[in-house]
């Protein structure tokens, strides 16, 4: 018998990477499986992540400029650090939810979802305490500007969350298992 040496792209069959076809890992796709559908809320979280990144960049510029104007170089550092910490924490929350949604096909989806999201919150709490202890009484940092930059970041994140949720259209009936 002759060996079939035809190229899959010539025969119209989709090329399947060997790593995916041979994998026995949960959630691995084979040629017969369809991709896992994400929850209907996933685009909302991705939009929130994009807006959060853009607002963090804007906050970096605005808080840094106001900090420089009010407190010189120590104010600049305080403004930039405050905006960066607020943006990082905002991104961690939304990012952990969007990441946890990738496991929707798993039998233990709810356990994984809450473990990832609550784990992210605990990580943020620990990081905040560590940052507060490390940045306390630093001479190169204006703590007032840092504080007000953090507050500005929290307020901006609340506005973004409210606007995105008001404009999103999520069906009442979910496709979650």
Condensed to tens digits (0 to 9), the pLDDT of residues 86-113 reads 999 988 988 999 999 999 889 999 999 9
In a domain, 76, yes or no: yes
Question: 156, 136, 133, 151: which is closest to 56 by C-alpha?
Answer: 156
Q: Is residue 175 part of a domain?
A: no
> Is residue 104 situated within a structural domain?
yes
| Residue located via tokens 């403004």 | 79
Q: Does residue 177 fall inside a structural domain? A: no
Containing structural domain, residue 127: 49-167
- In the numeric block, which tokens belong to residue 3? 């060996």
Element spanning 89, H or E: helix 42-100
Whether 56 and 153 have beta carbons less than 8 Å apart is answered as yes
Residue 2 covered by a domain: no
pLDDT tens-digit profile of 25-84?
Answer: 455 555 556 677 788 778 888 888 999 999 999 999 999 999 999 999 999 999 999 999
Q: Domain for residue 98, yes or no? A: yes
Compute the distance between CA of residue 68 and CA of residue 129 in angstroms, rounded to an integer.
26
Residues present in the chain in total: 177
Torsion angle of C-alpha atoms 89, 92, 111, 170, degrees rounded to 10: 100
Span between the terminal Cα atoms of the chain, in Å? 48
Q: pTM for this structure?
A: 0.70
Rounded Cα gap, residues 78 and 71, in angstroms: 9
Q: Is residue 173 situated within a structural domain?
A: no
- Sequence-distant (≥ 6) Cβ neighbours of residue 12 within 8 angstroms: none
- Is residue 4 in a domain? no
What is the number of structural domains in the chain? 1
């Amino acid at each position: 018998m002759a060996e079939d040496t035809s190229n899959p792209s010539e025969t119209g069959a989709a090329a399947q990477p060997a790593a995916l076809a041979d994998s026995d890992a949960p959630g691995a796709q084979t040629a017969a499986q369809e991709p896992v559908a994400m929850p209907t809320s996933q685009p909302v979280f991705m939009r929130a992540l994009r807006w959060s990144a853009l607002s963090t960049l804007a906050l970096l510029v605005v808080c840094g400029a106001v900090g420089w104007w009010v407190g010189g170089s120590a104010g600049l550092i305080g403004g930039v650090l405050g905006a960066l910490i607020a943006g990082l924490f905002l991104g961690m929350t939304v990012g952990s939810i969007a990441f946890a949604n990738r496991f929707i096909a798993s039998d233990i989806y709810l356990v994984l979802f809450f473990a990832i999201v609550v784990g992210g919150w605990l990580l943020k709490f620990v990081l905040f305490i560590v940052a507060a202890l490390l940045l306390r009484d630093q001479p190169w940092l204006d703590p007032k500007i840092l504080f007000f930059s953090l507050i500005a970041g929290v307020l901006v994140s609340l506005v973004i969350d409210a606007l995105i949720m008001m404009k999103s259209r999520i069906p009442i009936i979910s496709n979650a298992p």
